[in-house]
C-alpha cells in the first residue's frame, strides 16, 4: 500500500491510520479502568490486609474465610482476567505493557492458590498471622487518631470470635502437616500479647461506654483464642497427617508464580550449586590471607584439599563469631548497626535515602517461629509512615548451648549484615522508594524476588564498597550470608521435591554453608512451612547482579552507583526482567 501514489492512496492511508490510533487509545483507556478497579476493589477481599496496605476504608471489618468468601474472591479475579484477555497488550504504552503482565500474572496466581494450592484448607499458620494482624495493623502505626483506631479495634474484636469459628470449619485437619500445626500453636496466643501491650494501655483515654465495649470485646476474643488454642493442641496436632512436601508439580507451579521469572527448578539448582563452589573458593582465599597474617599453624596451600578449605574457612569464621552481643543485646546491637550502615551509605553517596522513620523493635509474638528478623514497611498507600525492623527475642526455654549457637551465628558482624539486608540500604530503603512510585498498581503487585534479591544485593554491595574499612572478616561474613541464600534455593526444592531428610539438610547448612545449629534448625522449619519463598533470595540477587552489569555496559562512563540504584528503585518493585527494559530503554519482554 505504501508504494501507491496520489490522493487516493493518501486518503486510504489516513483512513486506516485513524482506526489504529483509536484502537490503541481505547486499549490504553480500558486498561487504566481495569487497573483502577483492581486497586479500588481488591482490598475489600481482605479487610485485614487492606489495613496493612494503607487502605483504611475497611478498618472496621474482618476477613470472610468461608467458602462463600472464596467464591466471591475467585469470581472477582476471573472477571478481571477475562477482561484483560480481551485486550491486545501491544496496543498499550510501555509502562502499561509491564503492568498488564504483572496483573495477569497476579490474577492467575491468585486463582491457582485458591483452586490448586489450597493453603486455606491445610495451613493454620496463615490464620494465626491473619488474626494477629487484625489488631496489630490498626495499632502499629499512627495513620489516624488513636481514638478512631481503637474504635476499629473494638469493631474487629467483636468479629474475631466468628472468624475463629470459620477457621475451624475451613481447615481440613488431616491435610495439615505436623510442623504447620506446631508453628501455629506457638503463634496463636500472640494476638493476646498485642492486645495487652498495644490496646489495654490506652483504654483510659476513651469514653466509659467505648471502654466497656472494647473490654467486652477483649474478653470475648480472649475466650475465642483459648478455645482455638485447645483445638490446635488437642484436635489438630494429634491428627495432623498432611505431607509437608508440595511435590514436583505443585512446587514448580508455586515457584513460577512466586518468582515471576522464566528460570526452572533445574536451572536454579545448577546455578546455585555452581555458585556454592565458587563462593567457597572465594571465602578460602580471604580466610587464607587473614590466617597467614595471624600466624595460623593451619596448612594453607593456594590449592587446598576439601578438608583444608573447610578448616581454614571455619577457623576464620570462628574468629568473627567470637565477637557477640549479650543474650539480651541483639536489638541494641541492631540499633547501633543501623547508625553505622546509614552513615556509610550517606558518606559513599550510594543511593538517595528517604526521610521515613524507622524503629527497631522486638518481633511480635504472632509472627515468631519463621524467621529471625523482618522488615515491616508501611503499605504503599501509607507513604511516609513508620517502618519496623523487627528482631525476634531468644526463646526463654533455650539452653545455654542453644543461646551460644545463636549468638555465634548472629555475632556483631552478622548483625551488621542483617541490618544491611533488612534496613539500610536493604528492604527499608528499597520499599520506601517503591511506595513513592506514582504507579499504585505496581506498588500493590510487588515482586518478592525483586525485594529479597535487593536485600542480598545490598549485603554484597556494602562489602564490595568496603564497609568496616574493608575488614576481611566482614567480607567473609557477607559471603557466608550469600552462601545462606544459595543454600536457601537448594534446600527449598530438596524439601518439597526431593524429600531430603533433616540430617542431610543440616549438613548442607552447617558444613557446606557454615551455619550454626540454631540457624540451621530454624531454617529447616522455615523451608517446610513456606515453599518457594526461600528461592527468591538467590534468584533475585542473580537478577540484580546481572542487571547492574548490563547497565554498566550500556552507560559506560556515565555509570555511577547512585544513578543506577536510584534508577532501579524508581519503578516500584516489579520483577527485574521488567526493570531492565524500563531502565535501559529496551523492548518490553
Res 370: pLDDT: 67
Res 365: pLDDT: 82
C-alpha distances in angstroms, 16 versus 3, 7, 22, 91, 174? 15, 14, 10, 15, 63
Res 20: pLDDT: 42
Res 6: pLDDT: 35
Between CA 401 and CA 276 the distance in angstroms is 29
CA 59, 61, 65, 71 dihedral sign is: negative
Report the 10 Å Cβ neighbour count for 305: 10
Res 24: pLDDT: 86
Q: DSSP string covering 118-150, please? A: -HHHH-THHHHHHHHHHHHHHHSS-SS-HHHHH
Report the 10 Å Cβ neighbour count for 117: 19
C-alpha distances in angstroms, 54 versus 148, 365, 407, 436? 15, 22, 36, 13
C-alpha distances in angstroms, 556 versus 102, 129, 497, 548, 564? 31, 47, 43, 12, 12
C-alpha distances in angstroms, 566 versus 351, 387, 583? 6, 20, 10
Positions in the chain whose pLDDT score sits under 70: 1-23, 369-370
Between CA 47 and CA 61 the distance in angstroms is 6
pLDDT in tens, 113-155: 999 999 999 999 999 999 999 999 999 999 999 999 999 999 9
User: Residue 358 pairs with which residues in a beta bridge?
Assistant: 387
Domains of the chain by residue range: 24-117, 121-243, 316-584
**421-444 burial code (b ≥16 CB/10 A, e <16):** bbbbbbbbbbbbbbbbbebbbbbb
Res 347: pLDDT: 98
Res 372: pLDDT: 86
Contact assessment for residue 103 and residue 32, using Cβ atoms and an 8 Å cutoff: no
**333-367 burial code (b ≥16 CB/10 A, e <16):** bbebbbeebbebbeebebbebbebebebeebbbbb
Res 383: pLDDT: 82
Alpha helices (runs of H) in 189-329, residue ranges in sequence order: 190-194, 208-231, 237-239, 248-259, 265-293, 306-321
**Which are the contacts of 74, defined by CB distance < 8 A and separation ≥ 6?**
111, 114, 115
Res 305: pLDDT: 98
Res 371: pLDDT: 78
Contact assessment for residue 505 and residue 315, using Cβ atoms and an 8 Å cutoff: no
Amino acid at each position: 500500500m505504501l508504494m501507491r501514489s496520489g490522493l487516493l492512496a493518501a486518503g486510504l492511508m489516513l483512513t486506516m491510520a485513524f482506526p489504529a490510533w483509536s484502537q490503541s487509545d481505547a486499549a490504553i483507556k480500558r486498561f487504566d479502568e481495569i487497573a483502577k478497579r483492581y486497586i479500588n476493589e481488591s482490598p475489600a477481599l481482605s479487610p485485614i490486609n487492606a489495613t496493612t496496605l494503607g487502605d483504611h476504608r475497611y478498618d472496621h471489618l474482618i476477613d470472610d474465610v468461608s467458602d462463600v468468601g472464596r467464591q466471591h474472591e475467585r469470581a472477582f479475579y476471573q472477571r478481571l482476567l477475562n477482561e484483560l484477555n480481551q485486550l491486545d497488550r501491544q496496543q498499550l504504552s510501555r509502562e502499561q505493557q509491564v503492568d498488564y503482565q504483572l496483573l495477569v500474572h497476579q490474577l492467575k496466581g491468585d486463582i491457582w492458590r485458591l483452586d490448586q494450592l489450597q493453603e486455606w484448607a491445610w495451613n493454620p499458620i496463615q490464620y494465626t498471622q491473619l488474626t494477629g494482624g487484625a489488631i496489630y495493623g490498626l495499632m502499629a502505626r499512627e495513620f489516624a487518631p488513636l481514638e478512631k483506631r481503637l474504635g476499629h479495634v473494638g469493631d474487629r474484636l467483636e468479629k474475631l470470635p466468628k472468624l475463629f469459628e470459620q477457621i475451624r470449619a475451613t481447615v481440613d485437619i488431616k491435610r495439615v502437616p505436623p510442623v504447620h500445626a506446631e508453628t501455629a500453636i506457638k503463634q496463636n496466643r500472640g494476638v493476646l500479647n498485642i492486645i495487652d501491650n498495644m490496646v489495654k494501655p490506652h483504654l483510659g483515654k476513651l469514653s466509659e461506654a467505648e471502654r466497656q465495649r472494647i473490654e467486652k470485646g477483649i474478653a470475648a476474643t480472649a475466650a475465642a483464642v483459648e478455645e482455638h488454642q485447645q483445638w490446635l493442641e488437642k484436635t489438630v496436632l494429634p491428627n495432623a497427617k498432611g505431607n509437608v512436601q508440595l511435590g514436583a508439580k505443585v512446587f514448580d507451579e508455586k515457584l513460577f508464580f512466586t518468582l515471576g521469572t522464566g528460570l526452572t527448578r533445574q536451572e536454579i539448582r545448577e546455578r546455585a550449586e555452581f555458585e556454592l563452589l565458587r563462593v567457597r573458593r572465594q571465602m578460602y582465599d580471604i580466610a587464607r590471607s587473614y590466617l597467614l597474617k595471624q600466624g595460623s599453624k593451619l596448612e594453607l596451600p593456594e590449592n587446598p584439599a576439601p578438608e583444608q578449605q573447610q578448616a581454614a574457612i571455619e577457623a576464620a569464621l570462628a574468629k568473627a563469631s567470637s565477637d557477640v552481643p549479650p543474650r539480651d543485646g541483639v536489638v541494641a546491637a541492631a540499633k547501633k548497626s543501623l547508625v553505622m550502615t546509614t552513615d556509610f551509605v550517606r558518606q559513599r553517596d550510594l543511593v538517595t535515602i528517604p526521610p521515613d522513620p524507622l524503629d527497631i523493635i522486638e518481633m511480635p509474638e504472632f509472627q515468631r517461629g519463621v524467621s529471625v528478623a523482618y522488615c515491616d514497611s508501611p503499605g504503599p498507600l501509607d507513604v511516609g509512615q513508620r517502618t519496623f525492623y523487627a528482631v525476634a527475642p531468644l526463646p526463654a526455654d533455650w539452653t545455654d548451648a542453644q543461646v551460644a549457637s545463636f549468638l555465634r551465628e548472629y555475632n556483631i558482624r552478622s548483625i551488621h549484615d542483617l541490618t544491611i539486608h533488612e534496613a539500610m540500604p536493604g528492604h527499608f530503603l528499597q520499599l520506601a522508594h517503591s511506595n513513592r512510585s506514582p504507579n499504585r498498581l505496581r506498588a500493590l503487585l510487588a515482586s518478592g524476588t525483586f525485594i529479597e534479591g535487593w536485600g542480598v544485593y545490598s549485603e554484597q554491595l556494602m562489602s564490595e564498597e568496603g564497609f568496616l574499612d574493608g575488614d576481611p572478616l566482614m567480607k567473609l561474613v557477607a559471603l557466608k550470608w550469600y552462601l545462606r541464600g544459595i543454600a536457601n534455593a537448594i534446600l527449598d526444592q530438596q524439601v518439597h521435591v526431593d524429600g531430603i531428610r533433616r540430617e542431610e539438610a543440616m549438613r548442607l547448612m552447617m558444613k557446606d554453608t557454615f551455619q550454626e545449629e540454631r540457624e540451621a534448625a530454624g531454617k529447616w522449619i522455615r523451608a517446610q512451612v513456606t515453599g518457594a519463598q526461600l528461592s527468591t533470595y538467590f534468584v533475585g540477587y542473580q537478577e540484580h547482579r546481572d542487571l547492574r552489569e548490563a547497565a554498566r555496559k550500556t552507560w559506560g562512563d556515565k555509570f555511577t552507583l547512585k544513578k543506577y540504584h536510584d534508577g532501579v528503585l524508581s519503578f516500584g518493585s516489579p520483577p527485574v526482567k521488567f526493570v531492565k527494559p524500563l531502565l535501559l530503554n529496551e523492548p518490553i519482554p
